[in-house]
């Protein structure tokens, strides 16, 4: 099912595997623009109309906000074991992101003070996919860094099912993470409501969280009106392995991403031909056991690959070119190889650190750059939920030492008023 490609064709094959036509077609973009424009003008009326059309036909404005009673009912349906696991996961995520916090700092010197003032965003909107599926891990990963950053208000939107309900596990995750308000709305209309604000929906400063193509395009369109985290594409995992890797484990790790959707890219690069052949066989065997086998099979067929390179260093070179969302190093000495990795959203070291460990439990964020953007983007973090202001103070004596240099620089750019702003303070050798 999945071909084995050798080094002479590796580069072209990688390009083919990752060519997932991520750009939206004109019809999707036009639909998103129309919805956003409508929400901006008609507010709640438009949001409710689209929600009834796409998600819940009987939704009303009175039911659109989740109540405390609904949250309490969700807890009653939650298993004690899953709640315990969720709380442990939340502890790990919170502890990891605490390490990312930065403090306001001042560098005080004679006559001048420079520094950086760090403040949390006031209000953040978190989009969580819903409807027919539940993604409590997405709730924790988006909300907890914002809470650690000190965001004052967190508003969550998620599409309801046909009956107007939200999956109980999602509601419990939101409560555990500290969400302030939850609304039963999804799609481009939810993004518009958060970006522009309505009588019911508060306007936010930033929108984070994954969604379908309409959500991604809507976030792209409102960027500038509000901040966004990133434009997420289909999931991808690149497993870099040597002969020490277990073929069954390696295949399982590839399938853990292949089952996401048909556009996911599961790729193995190895310097061991015997491992490549064994993994190919394991993929066929395990694929037959998966409930989402049809989706995983399409992912493997269209965007999956096994590449054999002459050396591990050549494999690393290809991995850096891909800049994958998830990178697993299933090799004898993963820490040594890690030092050679330049581009990856998250790096999983060794045979006992499978990618789902990062998705659900370890603590680092699973909101990661995709489609090669790990070359310049980073995982979602506390930094995404704060803003930074520079601080500048000079005394008269400190400015007097440099004002002529400032003026010279300004005049070189043809900005005479800039120069005058510095010079005027010392005309005639004294303050004006």
The packing angle between helices 26-42 and 213-222, to 10°, is 60
**Beta pairing class for 386-394 and 112-120:** antiparallel
Assigned token pair, 101: 């916090």
Integer Cα distance of 67 and 63 in angstroms = 8
Answer yes or no: are the C-beta atoms of 240 and 279 closer than 8 Å.
no
Distance of CA 394 to the CA centre of its chain: 40
Token pair for residue 238? 């690149």
The two structure tokens encoding residue 409: 């620089």
Q: Which one from 325, 328, 351, 366 is the annotated catalytic residue?
A: 325
Check: CB of residue 362 under 8 Å from CB of residue 92.
yes
Are the CB atoms for 74 and 171 separated by under 8 Å? yes
Long-range contacts of 63-68 (CB under 8 A, 24+ apart): 63/164, 63/184, 64/183, 64/184, 64/185, 64/200, 65/181, 65/182, 65/183, 65/184, 65/200, 66/166, 66/171, 66/181, 66/182, 66/183, 66/184
- Gyration radius of the chain's alpha carbons: 26
Q: Strands, E, within 13-100: which ranges?
A: none
How far apart (Å, rounded) are the C-alpha atoms in residues 71 and 163?
16
Helices 187-196/44-54 angle, 10° precision: 160
**Strand residue runs (E) in 174-316:** 181-183, 206-208, 227-228, 236-241, 265-270, 305-308
CA distance 92 to 88: 6
Q: 97, 303, 326, 366: which is the annotated catalytic residue?
A: 326
What per-residue string of b and e applies to 242-277 under the rule 16 or more CB within 10 Å gives b?
A: beebbbebbbbbbbbbbbbebbbbbbbbbbbeebbe
CA atoms of 306 and 301, how far apart (whole Å): 11
Q: Is 326 a catalytic residue?
A: yes
325 labelled catalytic: yes
Task: Indicate which residues carry an active-site annotation.
Answer: 325-326
């Amino acid at each position: 099912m999945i071909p084995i490609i050798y080094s002479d064709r590796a580069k072209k094959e990688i390009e083919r595997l990752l060519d997932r036509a991520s750009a939206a077609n004109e019809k999707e973009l036009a639909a998103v623009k129309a919805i956003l424009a409508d929400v901006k003008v008609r507010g709640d009326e438009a949001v409710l109309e689209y929600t009834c059309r796409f998600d819940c036909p009987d939704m009303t404005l009175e039911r659109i906000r989740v109540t405390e009673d609904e949250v309490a009912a969700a807890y009653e349906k939650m298993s004690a074991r899953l709640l315990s696991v969720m709380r442990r996961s939340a502890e790990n995520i919170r502890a990891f992101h605490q390490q990312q916090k930065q403090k306001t700092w001042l560098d005080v010197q004679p006559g001048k003070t420079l520094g950086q003032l760090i403040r949390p965003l006031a209000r953040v909107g978190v989009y969580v996919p819903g409807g027919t599926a539940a993604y409590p891990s997405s709730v924790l990963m988006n909300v907890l860094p914002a809470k650690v950053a000190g965001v004052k208000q967190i508003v969550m939107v998620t599409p309801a099912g046909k009956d107007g309900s939200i999956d109980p596990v999602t509601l419990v995750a939101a409560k555990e993470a500290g969400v302030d308000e939850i609304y039963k709305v999804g799609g481009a209309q939810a993004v518009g409501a958060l970006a522009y604000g309505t009588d019911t929906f508060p306007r936010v400063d930033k929108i984070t969280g994954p969604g379908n193509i309409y959500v991604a395009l809507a976030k792209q369109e409102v960027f500038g009106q509000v901040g966004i985290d990133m434009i997420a594409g289909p999931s991808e995992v690149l497993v870099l392995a040597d002969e020490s890797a277990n073929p069954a484990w390696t295949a399982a790790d590839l399938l853990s991403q292949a089952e996401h959707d048909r556009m996911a890219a599961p790729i193995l690069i190895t310097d061991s031909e015997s491992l490549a052949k064994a993994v190919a066989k394991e993929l066929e065997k395990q694929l037959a056991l998966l409930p989402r086998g049809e989706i995983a099979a399409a992912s493997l067929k269209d965007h999956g690959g096994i590449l054999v390179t002459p050396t591990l260093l050549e494999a690393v070179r290809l991995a850096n070119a891909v800049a994958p969302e998830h990178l697993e190093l299933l090799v004898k000495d993963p820490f040594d190889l890690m030092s050679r990795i330049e581009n990856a959203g998250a790096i999983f070291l060794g045979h006992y650190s499978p990618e789902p460990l990062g998705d659900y439990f370890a603590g680092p964020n699973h909101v990661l750059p995709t489609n090669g953007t790990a070359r310049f983007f980073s995982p979602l973090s506390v930094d995404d939920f704060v803003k930074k202001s520079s601080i500048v103070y000079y005394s008269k004596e400190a400015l007097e030492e440099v004002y002529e240099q400032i003026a010279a620089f300004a005049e070189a750019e043809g900005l005479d008023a800039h120069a005058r702003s510095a010079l005027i303070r010392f005309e005639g050798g004294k303050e004006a």
